[in-house]
Amino acid sequence: MSVTATMETTAGELAAIDMPPMTGVTPHLNLVGASDASAFYQQAFGARETFRLPADDGKRLMHCALVINGGNLMICDCFPEMGHGFEHQPSASFTMHLQVDDIEAWFQRAVDAGAQVLQPIEDMFWGDRYARLLDPYGVHWALGQTKAG
């Protein structure tokens, strides 16, 4: 279940929201079209949206929390006009990696949702089956599955 907050939501109300705890490193992607990206990640990667905070313009998201395969992901739109943030720059120097239990199913679901294949599923020298994708928002994704045996 996703919770939508407003700029008037109190700290107490936010604390009462049932979201998974964030521990370790949590990626936070700044995108153009974060609301559409959330819908894409739900379709492509089985993401579950747990929280969203729309901006006052009614178009962009100040914050959106997702859970994908048990891990947290935060996304938002860029807000350079607010004096913090920056213009959007496509991502090319990092990859979001998902270690999965059925790479064929995860791969096909993402491709069916609109992800571009950069590398089809292959057996790799380190023992995993591995594939790479590019999502419609310019984010690079890798899928890995440890081979049995």
CA 108 to the chain's CA centroid: 17
Q: What class, spelled out in words, does domain 96-146 have in CATH?
A: alpha beta
Instruction: Give DSSP secondary structure letters for 4-59.
Output: E--TT--HHHHHTS--PPP-S---EEEESSHHHHHHHHHHHH--EEEEEEE-TTSS
| Lowest model confidence (mean pLDDT) among 8-12, 48-52, 53-57, 131-135 | 8-12
Q: What is the mean pLDDT of residues 6-11?
A: 50
Domain ranges of the chain: 24-79, 96-146
- Options 3.90.700.10, 3.40.190.10, 3.40.50.300, 3.30.720.120; which CATH number does 24-79 get? 3.30.720.120
Q: How confident is the model at residue 91 (pLDDT cuts 50, 70, 90)?
A: confident
Angle (CA) 102 108 113, round 5° = 130
The pLDDT of residue 47 is 97
Better pLDDT: 83 or 119: 119
Q: How confident is the model at residue 87 (pLDDT cuts 50, 70, 90)?
A: confident
8 A C-beta contact, residue 104 and residue 85? no
